[in-house]
Structure 1
Amino acid sequence: MIIAYTKRTARNLSDMFAKREIKKTYVAIVKEKFPSSTITLDERIDKKDALSFATSIAHNHNKSLLEINIKTGRKHQIKKH
């Protein structure tokens, strides 16, 4: 989580996100055992290209902990993929 305490910092961070200079990584828990390799998810969202990568970090019984990296940033992309 990133918090900007000044308007200048917020502007700079916004510019960095727009230029894709900051890498965003998400963590999710899903039901079932996820494959051990990285999975590419490229289903279109709202008729636009969308690209995500999901990698299993750990699993326990019927749940898996995933690291997810998105390359496009569509609305609700992680949830839809």
Structure 2
Amino acid sequence: LDQYTAGLLVIAHGKGTAAQLALQFASRKVIKQYMAVVQGVMEAPCAIDQPLDERTAMSSVTPLANNGRQTLVQVDIQTGRKHQIRRHLMHVGHPLAGDRLYGNDASVPLQLLAWHLAFDCPATGEPQVFRLNADQQLRLTQPGDLG
């Protein structure tokens, strides 16, 4: 995760486990979903296939709710490039709320939460799914209900 992104992390307890998890990430088998608050009203889902630093980078963004100034979105990333979500959302004209680097908004903390991770357990091969309650983690930059 970026330094200012909140949420779930996967931590391996051993070199073998780390290697197996790294293979899942490299083969894009890990499902990574984020919740974010973006500036402006995003009305339609979009797929972003915009290379970053000359490497493939793909994100899918789904608007969930808006308050006329901001939009709560779910972001699914198929790749994991540095600042991918931040840069992709800026590219489509909806920078993250609280993004000092790409959005020029220093009024609140970065509104980006890694809320869903799914992968296979390296030891058993069983599917593992972890989720956070995103509603309690994100704060709007302006008062108002996104629901």
Query: Structure 1 length as normaliser, TM-score?
Result: 0.77
Q: CA deviation at 1:27?
A: 1.1
The percentage of aligned residue pairs carrying the same residue is: 34
Gaps of 5+ in 1: none
Q: CA deviation at 1:34?
A: 0.7
- Count of matched residue positions in the alignment of Structure 1 and Structure 2: 80
Cα RMSD (Å) of the superposition? 1.9
Q: CA deviation at 1:19?
A: 2.6
SS at match of 1:17: helix
Gaps of 5+ in 2: 1-7, 89-147
2:76 to 58, 69, 74: 69
Task: Work out the CA distance in 1 between the residues paired with 2:83 and 2:64.
Answer: 22
> Amino acid of the residue matched to residue 4 of structure 1?
I
Which stretches of structure 1, 4 residues or more, deviate above 3 A after TM superposition? Answer: 2-5, 8-12
Larger relative helix fraction: 1
Cα-to-partner distance string for 1:5-38 (whole Å, 9 max, x where unaligned): 6225444433322232220001110111111x32
